[in-house]
Every structure is written in C-alpha cells, then in structure tokens.
Amino acid sequence: MPTSSIVASTDLDRADELRHVLTRRLDEGELDLPLLPHVANQVLTLAHDPNADAGKLATLIQQDQALAAQILRIANSPAYLPRSPIVSLQQAIAWLGLNMLAGIAFSVSLQSGVFKIVGYEREVQLLWRHALATGLYGKEIARRLRHNVENAFLCGLLHTIGKPLILHVLVSDRQRSMRLPWSVLEPLINEFHIPAGVRLAEAWALPDPVQETIRFYQDDRYHEARSPTKGAVITCLADHLATFLLDPAEMEEDALRALPVIRDLNLYPEDLTALLDLADTVRPSVECLIV
C-alpha cells in the first residue's frame, strides 16, 4: 500500500500520541477486542467438526441473509466457473467445497461485520484483498511442497487480522470527524498489528496453527514457529507474493526471488516461476471474494 513520504509535524505528534495510546492499551490488555461474529464463530467451529456436512453449513449461513447472498455471488463468479448457475446454498457448498466455503463465510462475515470501519472502507478493502491473496497463495505454496494444504488458506487469510483491529482501535479512539491520514495510520498498524492480532486470535480461540502464524509469519520470525503445518513460513512467502500481485510497485521480481524465505522453503527458481504464473488465477479469486 503506497505511503506518502511527507508527513506533517502535527501528524508526527499525533502518531507519537497514538503510539503511546496503543502501547498502553496493549500492555494493559485494554484493546477492546471485538467479539467474533456469531456466524463466523459457528462457521469456524463447523469447519473443524468431523461430522460437519453441507446441510449444517447451509442452515448456518441462511441465518445471515447478507452472507448467504454474498456466497451465492461468489459461487457464481467467473473465478469459480460454475458449470451451471448456482441457485442454492447447498449447490454453492457442493461447488466450492466445505472448507473453502467456511473460509469465505468467515472472511465475508468479518468484512461486513466487526471490521466495517466507516471512513476507511477503501483501506480496509485493501487489507482484506491482501489477506485473501495471501490465503490463496498459501494453498498453492503448500501444494507445491506436497504438504497438506488444509490450514494454509485460513492462516493466510487471518495472518494480519491485527491490522483492521488496530485501525478499528485507532479510529474509535478519535472523534470520527477527525479523519487521520493513512500516512499516519499505516506505520502504526504495521508496528502493532502482530501483538494485537495475537490477542484477538487468543480471544477468538482461533486454531493453534493460525495463532502461531499470526505471531511468527514475518521474515525475521518464521524460524521460531514449531507447528508441523508450516503455516508461518508458508504464509510469509504467500504474504510477499500477495504484495507482488496487488502492489507490484512495492517489490520487484528480482527482490522477490532473492527473499531468504524462498531458500528456506527450498523452492527452486522454476518452483517460484510456477507460483508466479498463478497470478491470473489468484487475482480474479481475490476480487470475487471482496465484499
């Protein structure tokens, strides 16, 4: 996401003030964590229930009309190429698959729920777009490694869940009429999103591999992750690939190819080329998942 290099001194003062507030609230556990939306919570539970079936998920999603409508829209989008129009939730579930649908339902209910931040809709959408691309790339990296891909989407989708949370906290801490420039907010979001995301993940009791990914997905931390799902290291690369896809000005291909995480995943140049070739598949999938 582009950041203006010119930051007014008053903005710097504001940034210092906000940093102080965020530090104190994180230290004192006063982050005012939003509750996980009821439907998202149940979807997550259901996705990890070995007895889950399409009928249960359809019943759950039907409780939220907006969510049901979004899922039907996504299932009918060109990115998922339905053989015939998808007209029912049962049909959508069968077409997209239980796990993918659970991820979509989770993502949609968060986008339109707790993290709908008035005045910053565009920025939040950019954050979600990046998270979705990370989730989709995560699956492909895992597949390339002949590793189980099951957790990769959720790890990628939620690895920066602390970012909208920090934005939510910063914005709700100010008078709504005082719109803070993104150039002030973005560095703070980047600085605090991991501890905030960890708190949120614990409060929401997200699966252990997801919590570990949030904590350790960055380049200088993934070595500390211990989960055999490799969520953190896979998400680290997926995060870079998402940046390269959505904001190519941020990273040149040579710089991407030189990332240590690629070596640490033992991906050879032809493996990375194959992943980059997936851009035309990942991009439309991301767009159709955005609410």
Partner 1 sequence: MTTAHYDIVVIGSGPAGQKAAIQGAKAGKRVALIEQEFEVGGACVYRGTIPSKTLRESALQMSRFQRTAEVFEFKLRDDVKVASLMSRLDHVVKTHGRLMNDQLTRNGIERFHGRARFATDREVQITTVEGTSLRLRGEVIVIATGSRPRIPESIPVDHEHILDSDSILSLVYLPKSLTVLGGGVIASEYASIFAILGVQVTMIDTADRPLRFLDQELTDEFFAAFYKSGGRYVGGQQIEEVAWDGCSRVVTRLKSGETVLSEKLLVALGRVANVESLDVQAAGLDLTSRGLIPVNHQCQTPVPHIYAVGDVIGPPALASCAMEQGRRAVRHALGLDPGLDPEHIPMGIYTVPEISSVGLSEQEAVGRYGGALVGRAHFHEIARSQISGMTNGVLKLVADPTTERILGVQIVGEGATELIHIGQMALLNRLHVESFVDTIFNFPTLAEAYRVAALDLLQRRPSRSSVISRDGL
* Residue 84 makes contact with partner 1 by CB under 8 A: no
Residue bearing tokens 């069968």: 94
Q: What token pair was written down for 55?
A: 């009928």
What's the start-to-end Cα distance of the chain, in Å?
A: 19
Binding mask 136-175 for partner 1 (x = CB under 8 A): ---x--xx--xxxxxx------------------------
Residue placing its CB nearer to partner 1 in the complex, 2 or 260? 260
Question: CB of 49: closest distance to partner 1 in angstroms?
Answer: 10
Q: Decide: is 42 part of the binding site for partner 1 (CB under 8 A).
A: no
H or E stretch at 111: helix 98-111
User: Does the protein bind partner 1 through residue 53 (CB under 8 A)?
Assistant: yes
CB 273 within 8 Å of CB 239? no
Site residue total, partner 1 (CB under 8 A) = 37
Signed CA dihedral, 46, 242, 118, 194: sign only: positive
CB of 151 to partner 1, least distance (A): 5
Binding residue for partner 1, selected from 5, 51, 65, 175, defined by CB under 8 A: 51
Phi and psi at 290, nearest 5°, equal -80, 130
Residue closer to partner 1 (CB basis): 26 or 54:
54
Shortest separation between residue 252's beta carbon and partner 1, angstroms: 15
Q: Is residue 232 within the footprint of partner 1 (CB under 8 A)?
A: no
Q: Does 199 bind partner 1 (CB under 8 A)?
A: no
- Helix, coil or strand: residue 23: helix
Residues 52, 79, 117, 290: which binds partner 1 (CB under 8 A)?
52
Q: Does 122 bind partner 1 (CB under 8 A)?
A: no
Q: How far is the CB of 227 from partner 1 (least distance, A)?
A: 7
Helices 162-173, 9-27: inter-axial angle, 10-degree rounding: 110
Q: Report the candidate in 207, 252, 257 with the shortest Cα–Cα distance to residue 237.
A: 257
- Angle of the 89-96 helix axis to the 98-111 helix axis, nearest 10: 110
Rounded CA gap, 273 and 268, in Å? 9
Amino acid identity of 124?
Answer: V
Contacting partner 1 (CB under 8 A), which of 93, 166, 200, 282? Answer: 93
* Alpha carbon distance 223, 233 (integer Å): 8
Q: Is 75 in the site for partner 1 (CB under 8 A)?
A: no
Q: Which of 209, 239, 243, 244 binds partner 1 (CB under 8 A)?
A: 209
Tell me 226's DSSP state. -
Residue 227 binding partner 1, by CB under 8 A: yes
- Contacting residues toward partner 1, per CB under 8 A: 48, 50-54, 93-99, 139, 142-143, 146-151, 208-209, 226-230, 257-258, 262-263, 266-269
